[in-house]
Amino acid sequence: MKSRRNFLQKLTLSAVSLPLIPGLKSSSFPGWQKSVFQDRMLRVAIMGLGSYGTRVAEAMQDSKKAKLVGVISGTPSKISAWQEKYNIPSKNCYNYENFDAIKDNPDIDAVYIITPNALHHPQTLRVAAARKHVICEKPMALNAEQGREMVEACKNAGVQLLVGYRMHFEANTLEVIRMREAGEFGEIKFFQGLSGFKIGDPSQWRLNKELAGGGAMMDIGIYSINGARYMIGKEPIWVTAQETKTDPVKFKEGVDETILFQFGFPEGIVASCLSTYSMGNLDRFFLNGTQGFAEMQPSTGYGPIKGKTHKGPLDNPHITHQTVQMDRMAEIILEGETAKVPVDGEEGLKDLIIIDTIYKAVASGRKEPIQLG
């Protein structure tokens, strides 16, 4: 309740925030009720209608709090197909040239950016300038410098910036985090994350340094990075990393195929992780404490997250991750419920700082300090 109250106060005090509640005029504030938020849904436009965009759109059909109302795409045929499928009015359809005009569209609250990594930064700046909330897929950007600019831009525009870290809404993951916070594992000692898949089509943008910003680390290794942080519940202070490459044709200069990396955390906690584009069947987390453990496999895939702890199986029912994510992100954006949900731009930025440092450690061959502050 407290964070919501703060949000309301901010709204009242700041004219900048007014466009965020389309249809509300400042004269309507006195009679404004809690139900205004509770009764309406977050109206989302998806930018980038590729396979993950499609997955999010489908998942959003089951969301009680977020609704797909618009699209931004460079492919007219995709736009018309989506319009038909999801009943999207033409006035909510944009392309990459004209989407700045979204600022004048009172029927869109937020834009979910699901485009190649290199586009996240410029697109976020443009969405923020249009005074729409930003949901951005991970990795939030190509590097920490871009990430900082995005955080700053959204802050200055008075819009929220959230990153598509869907695991923070997944029930079994949250149960492990709850157990850790409750001390049920005792003192945490070790985390291990293995994140990888065997990548196919060599012509895809994920294998293009300019569009992806790197290789497996940007795309799948980031799950072990973010996972190390939320499973341990602390921030890493150093990293070492070792790269190997078996196919320099498929994985060109600057596109990492396989990187082993290790984190040091405060209190001697360590983590050992693997990021790879050349091994299937790798989606495993293991958390070890003095009083117990958790193991999850799959740990971050789209399907049911399975695993067990020293107390027994993790058996919360599976709900489509992206549905829960959109429900919760709608609450965060509409109701200002940001407390304790580490999916905002600052969190995305931390992972970018860590990725920068991992690449630095690969290059130096040395233990590199991680400076998140």
Does the protein bind its own copies through residue 31 (CB under 8 A)?
A: no
Query: Shortest CA distance to 220 belongs to which of 284, 146, 307, 296?
Result: 284
Q: How far apart (Å, rounded) are the C-alpha atoms in residues 206 and 319? A: 28
Q: How far apart (Å, rounded) are the C-alpha atoms in residues 20 and 42? A: 11
Among 284, 321, 328, 350, binds its own copies (CB under 8 A): 284
Does the protein bind its own copies through residue 311 (CB under 8 A)?
A: no
What b/e sequence results for 177-187 when a residue is b if at least 16 CB atoms lie within 10 Å of its CB, and e otherwise?
bebbeeebbee
Does the protein bind its own copies through residue 264 (CB under 8 A)?
A: yes
Contacting range for its own copies; rule: CB under 8 A; set: 21-29, 102-110, 280-288, 325-333: 280-288
Does the protein bind its own copies through residue 14 (CB under 8 A)?
A: no
Among 246, 312, 317, 373, binds its own copies (CB under 8 A): 246
Residue 138 annotated as catalytic: yes
Query: Shortest CA distance to 275 belongs to which of 265, 287, 284?
Result: 284
Among 22, 242, 301, 303, binds its own copies (CB under 8 A): 242
Q: Helix (H, G, I), strand (E, B), or coil: what is residue 262?
A: strand
- We find the least distance from the C-beta atom of residue 190 to its own copies, in angstroms, to be 6
Residues contacting residue 142 through CB under 8 Å, at least 6 positions apart = 117, 118, 120, 121, 213, 214, 218
Q: Are 191 and 231 in contact (CB under 8 A)?
A: yes
Does the protein bind its own copies through residue 276 (CB under 8 A)?
A: yes
Residue 302 annotated as catalytic: no
- We find the least distance from the C-beta atom of residue 244 to its own copies, in angstroms, to be 5
Cβ closest to its own copies, residue 82 vs residue 261: 261
Angstrom distances, CA of residue 151 to CA of 148, 155, 168, 296: 5, 6, 20, 32
Q: Are 312 and 225 in contact (CB under 8 A)?
A: no
Does the protein bind its own copies through residue 272 (CB under 8 A)?
A: yes
Q: How far apart (Å, rounded) are the C-alpha atoms in residues 11 and 25? A: 11
Q: How far apart (Å, rounded) are the C-alpha atoms in residues 204 and 269? A: 37
Does the protein bind its own copies through residue 270 (CB under 8 A)?
A: yes
Q: How far apart (Å, rounded) are the C-alpha atoms in residues 213 and 91? A: 34
Cβ closest to its own copies, residue 22 vs residue 266: 266
Q: How far apart (Å, rounded) are the C-alpha atoms in residues 70 and 362? A: 42
**List 138, 230, 277, 359, catalytic entry:** 138
Cβ closest to its own copies, residue 102 vs residue 194: 194
The interface mask with its own copies, positions 176-205, x = CB under 8 A, is: -------------xx-x-x---x-------
Query: Shortest CA distance to 327 belongs to which of 59, 2, 14?
Result: 59
The dihedral through the CA atoms of 199, 202, 205, 206 has a sign that is positive
Does the protein bind its own copies through residue 312 (CB under 8 A)?
A: no
Does the protein bind its own copies through residue 244 (CB under 8 A)?
A: yes
The interface mask with its own copies, positions 352-371, x = CB under 8 A, is: -------------xxx----
Does the protein bind its own copies through residue 240 (CB under 8 A)?
A: yes
Does the protein bind its own copies through residue 322 (CB under 8 A)?
A: no
Query: Shortest CA distance to 207 belongs to which of 193, 192, 218?
Result: 218
Contacting range for its own copies; rule: CB under 8 A; set: 149-157, 281-289, 298-306, 326-334: 281-289
Contacting range for its own copies; rule: CB under 8 A; set: 61-69, 134-142, 160-168, 273-281: 273-281
Bridge partners for 274 per DSSP: 194, 260
Does the protein bind its own copies through residue 63 (CB under 8 A)?
A: no
Contacting range for its own copies; rule: CB under 8 A; set: 119-127, 271-279, 313-321, 342-350: 271-279
The residues that are catalytic are 138, 223
| List of residues contacting its own copies (CB under 8 A) | 189-190, 192, 194, 198, 240, 242, 244-246, 257-258, 260, 262, 264, 267-268, 270, 272, 274, 276, 278-282, 284, 286, 288, 290, 293, 310, 365-367
